[in-house]
Structure 1
Amino acid sequence: MTVMESYEQERIEYLRTLRAWDETVKEVLFFLREIQKKNLALLLFYIKVKSRLTRIVKCFNDDSSEPIPNYDREMEEFVREVLEGRKDEEIVAEIGVSFVSKQNLKTLEGLKWLDGEVINTYLQLIQRRSTNSSTLPRSYCFNTFLYDKVSKIGHSAVKRWTRKVNIFDYDLVFFPIHLGNHWTLAYADIRKKTLRYCDSMGGKNPKCLAALFDYLKIESVEKTKRALCDDWKTESISGKIPQQQNTNDCGVFSCVFADYISRDAAFNFSQADMPNLRNLVKYELLKGKMLKE
């Protein structure tokens, strides 16, 4: 074999080897791309599942999801001592600008329909807790009379109610709603630019949302000299919250909704908890302090 023939044979073997390596590299790259695609899909799936699981775990681990306190003998004894010997018309609890008499508190017994003053005073207790806390959302609570005037007359009827306060300085603004024979709750989440409606009987009440949204729009111009941002929205969340199974507990549901929402807490109560919650509301009002401060 001549030198040239030997060189030519080596060149052919070299090119054959290069082609083999080229095919191997192509196969490896193809394999890596497929793995990358699958890994990306798995990664996206993992992120999605993890996000949901994190929310679920947070719900169960959050302080708000601890078992609801039981109305115990010590609480019962405290309530008995405070109310014993008091006349029905006597004021037994005064929080902020609201107060309740012994007669008002009797509406928390059994299946009685809740008195408006109980709701007003309980919301004032929630507001005071917010004021005294460095960690809870800042909450402002209107009374049960605001919606009646706003829905019938408009912002002008209650313009002076906030002459010393700017509700847009708060995180949450609560509106207890009296519909004649039913209590519900609406609230504005200033942080999320959302006005929500909560009805323990599933009602959506777009009329209520529209009236309160008009109020917020005018109030914004009055207090901030600016119109509400276009990204504000209204929604009913009544289909996503605990529902009452009778016609008596709507007021208690509304109070408890406000308590949980004011703590950014997940709802963990139901109709079965109402007898216990009625007693706890009474205890908190007489104590002048929320159990979850």
Structure 2
Amino acid sequence: MRPFNEEEQRSIQNAIYGYGHDEDIISQDGMDSVQRQSMQTLKPGMWLNDEVIHYFYLMLSKRDEELCKIDPTRQRSHFFKSFFITKILNEGSASCDGKYEYRNVKRWSKKVPGKDIFKLDKILFPINMGNMHWIAAVIFMKKKRIEIFDSMGSDGSRYLNALFSYIQDEHMDKKKTPLTDIDEWELVPTQRATPRQRNGHDCGVFTCMFADFLSKDTALVFNQNHINQCRERIALSILNGKAII
């Protein structure tokens, strides 16, 4: 991760620590925005809220689009919000919490670049586990691999299985044929080398950084010692309107 220049550092400090009304809009893109009170969750020791995480994933999408314009051979990726997992597993429902239902997200693939998930390079998901912990999941479409990245080390099996079912149901619905290479797909729980948090509040930052590094095909070389710099990296990406390289 590159160091920030003086101007960038001033912008970061003002966005995170500056005075103003909680509802002030710090950054906006279409219908998505980040308020001052949400930016303040990027202070060290604070738990990131969903507004910051969702907006940062949007900034990753903006960067991905630009990188693909620079390199036409590069394939697009897509970045869903955590609502995808909430919907597909009926999380929070009194009658069917945890039940997989493809129909709940059947139309969501219309949002992806090219409107065809099978032409994407990766699909990245932030996941809010019980409103207590953030993790990331990634479908590596070309590698036929679905993997969980949890800074606390869980295997994420329910999410792996749900996303694999989604791939199969999406193929049947959109291509009108079963997925023919099911045996070639690999479901991978959190690996031993996945960076770990050493406290109870940085999971959202790790979830953002997993997507940041993986979406640009970079090894996960960060750790807990880098997290405050990562928080500033998220802030600057939000301020710039796209994730920084």
Q: How far did 1:75 drift?
A: 1.6
> Is 1:173 the equivalent of 2:120?
no
Query: Percent sequence identity over matched residues?
Result: 32
Q: What is the CA–CA distance in structure 1 between the aligned matches of 2:4 and 2:206, rounded to whole Å?
A: 17
- What corresponds to 2:26 in structure 1? 92
Q: Which structure would you say has the larger Rg?
A: 1
The correspondence for 1:209, drawn from 140, 153, 160, is 160
Contact 1:137–1:264, Cα closer than 8 Å, also in 2: no
Q: Kindly provide the CA deviation profile for residues 255-288 of structure 1, in whole angstroms up to 9, marking residues without a partner as x.
A: 0110110011112111000011101111110111
**Any idea what the Cα deviations from partners look like across 1:16-71, whole Å, max 9, x if unmatched?**
xxxxxxxxxxxxxxxxxxxxxxxxxxxxxxxxxxxxxxxxxxxxxxxxxxxx2234
Task: Give the whole-Å Cα distance in 2 for the aligned partners of 1:214 and 1:71.
Answer: 42
In the TM superposition, what is the alpha-carbon distance from 1:243 to its structure 2 partner? Answer: 0.8
Q: Do the aligned partners of residues 96 and 186 (structure 1) sit closer, same or farther apart at CA in structure 2, a change above 3 Å counting? A: farther
Aligned to 2:50: 116
Residue 102 of structure 2: aligned partner: 155
Structure 2 counterpart of 1:172, which letter? K
For residues 58 and 208 of structure 2, what CA distance do their matches in structure 1 show? Answer: 11
TM-score, normalised with respect to structure 2 = 0.85
Among candidates 188, 202, 214, match of residue 235 of structure 1: 188
CA distance, structure 1, for counterparts of residue 233 and residue 217 of structure 2: 20
Q: Secondary structure at the match of 2:2?
A: coil
Aligned partners of 1:196 and 1:96: how far apart in 2? 30
Q: Return the offset for 1:166.
A: 1.8
Aligned to 1:78: 11
Partner of 1:186: 137
Deviates more, 1:234-243 or 1:82-91: 82-91
Whole-angstrom CA distance in 2 between matches of 1:137 and 1:240: 27
Match of 1:125 in 2: 59
Q: 1:157 Cα deviation (Å)?
A: 1.3
Task: Compute the TM-score of the two structures, normalised by the length of structure 1.
Answer: 0.71
> Is contact 1:244-1:270 (8 Å) kept?
yes
Alignment of structure 1 residues 254-269 onto 2, 5 Å: 254-269=207-222
Unaligned regions of 5+ residues in structure 1, if any? 1-67
In the other structure, the counterpart of 2:95 is: none
In the TM superposition, residue 81 of structure 1 has moved relative to its aligned partner by 5.5
CA distance in 2, matches of 1:238, 1:199: 9
Query: 3-state DSSP class of the match of 1:133?
Result: helix
Could you say what secondary structure the match of 1:283 adopts?
A: helix
Q: Could you say which residue in structure 2 is the equivalent of 1:198?
A: 149
- Equivalent AA in structure 2 for residue 170 of structure 1: L
Structure with bigger helix share is 1
